Amino acid sequence: LKPDEEAKEFGEIINFLSQVARCYPQKSARFPGQLIDLLQKHYPVLNAELRKSIVQALILLRNRGVISNVTVMPLFFTLFRCRDKKLRSMLYSHIVNDVKVANKGKHRDHKLNKSLQSFMYTMVTAADAQDKHGEGAMAAKKSLDVCIELYRKNVWTDAKAVNVIVQACFSPINKIMLTAVQFFLNPLKKSNEGDEDDEDEPSTNGESAGQTKKNRVNFMMIQHQSNINRKTKYRTRVLDKATRIRKREQAKRDGQLPDEEDEDGIVSGGKKKKGSSGPAVNFDALSLVHDPQSFAEKLFARVHRSATATKRGGSTTDRFEVRLLLLKLISRLIGHHQLQVLAFYPFLQRYLQPHQVDVTQILALLANASHAFTPPDVLQPLIRAVADNFVSDHCAPEVMCAGLNTVRAIAARQPLAVDPDLLNDLVMYRKHKDKGVMMAARSLLVLYRQINPEMLHRRDRGREATMGLISGAPGSTPLGFGE
């Protein structure tokens, strides 16, 4: 009659009965069903301690094999709606471990997996899961965490589980959407459990955000001083150290996501430090997406809508960090599946400025979004913008190196995107006084000696490429686009 009271004696009786239920199977046959009915009908109004005692009793009965997981799992997912963080954490751990045990070794409980995945899909796409402050959003977030954790434990690695996470990428709630997007960017990275009561925006609290802003200001000040003051060995060391610290902070914010051409590869020309063998990018999850073309188009529509929206019009706008994560996922989808999202490339052109925040990541995702089926006339304006803004004598050597390496990365995927006049202008930087710029220009020259030496001046082709063109060796003249 008073469900909000603790009812300590009632909880102790439930605990006792759950301990001895296995010893009296006939007399306790109705006991698990009564507990399930009690929670299903009255879980929102029950006292938190009593509700926790009932859930612990059901978990004990499940661990001892008194009830089946198919019977109790839908109830546990429903209890994710409770505004009780400890209860949700306990349910999360039990569900993950129970499903893992049910699919141990070569045995797979397909009936359980299919029913749970269908239930998760319903919870993620439900109407009440679109309300930021509603109970459905909490249940959808925890259900998504369960699905991601089971994928990382190699329990659910099928297409249905991955496409449940795909649906979460379209959620209007940033926290759910970012969790799903970060999963596709790095499926094997451990997620932060218990962060459901934090802010919706990615990652940091106020203190760390302020520290990041302070580090960024310090780096800009050091860089400015090195440009206007006389260069000495000490100032060069200070600038190099500040650059390394800034890259490390950026890697922490991004979760250290390796990529085919990550930001360090763009800046340094693809070289890695000796002994550093980072994990390769895992594309298994992206390969299981049912319709990657519509997936990429919907994500880009959200980014474009957020970038062009104004707060005065009443529409919501995502932060630049959120849009950058979405652009990374779109670029990986385009590069991995060789998609045609032609509006994506002109959209990136607005960010191709040396003073743009996180410009190295934007250059990297531009290179990743290029492939052999991308029309060259779509990429040519972007390569021209990179050459004009990054590769000129008034730019710093680091900026020129990043621009040349970006052009080389795009040309390696689509050689026809660079016109001959621009190519020969860029190759002239192989005699630059800065070693980084010189090596970047030489790598571009070596690339075109291998794939299309006809675009180079005769003196730049080299002996082997010239002999191949004279003899008409197969492969010396590349095919045009679409041939």
Q: Over its length of 483 residues, how does the chain's per-residue pLDDT go in tens digits?
A: 477 777 888 889 999 999 999 899 888 899 999 999 999 998 888 888 999 999 999 999 999 989 998 899 999 999 999 988 999 999 999 999 999 999 887 788 888 999 999 989 998 988 888 888 888 899 999 999 999 999 999 899 889 999 999 999 999 999 999 999 999 998 776 655 444 444 444 443 444 444 555 555 577 788 878 888 888 888 888 888 888 888 777 666 554 444 444 545 555 565 554 444 444 556 788 999 999 999 999 999 999 988 887 655 545 678 889 999 999 999 999 999 999 999 999 999 999 998 888 899 999 999 999 998 999 999 999 999 999 999 988 888 999 999 999 999 999 999 888 988 999 999 999 888 889 999 999 999 989 888 888 888 777 777 676 666 666 665 556 656 665
Give per-residue pLDDT as tens, 461-479.
776 766 666 666 655 566 5
Instruction: Go through the chain and tell me how many residues it has.
Output: 483
Is the distance from CB of 389 to CB of 355 less than 8 angstroms? no
Q: Looking at residue 232, what is its pLDDT?
A: 87
Q: Is 473 left (phi over 0), alpha (psi -120 to 50) or beta?
A: beta
* C-alpha pair distances (Å), 44 with each of 8, 337, 473, 480: 18, 45, 77, 66
Structure tokens at 345: 């490339």
The closest alpha carbon to 360, from 254, 241, 215, 272, belongs to: 254
Instruction: Decide: pTM greater than 0.85.
Output: no
CA Rg, the chain, in Å? 28
Give per-residue pLDDT as tens, 273-317.
444 444 455 678 899 999 999 999 999 999 998 888 765 554 567
* C-alpha pair distances (Å), 370 with each of 228, 240, 261, 362: 37, 31, 11, 13
The closest alpha carbon to 337, from 363, 369, 362, 298, belongs to: 369
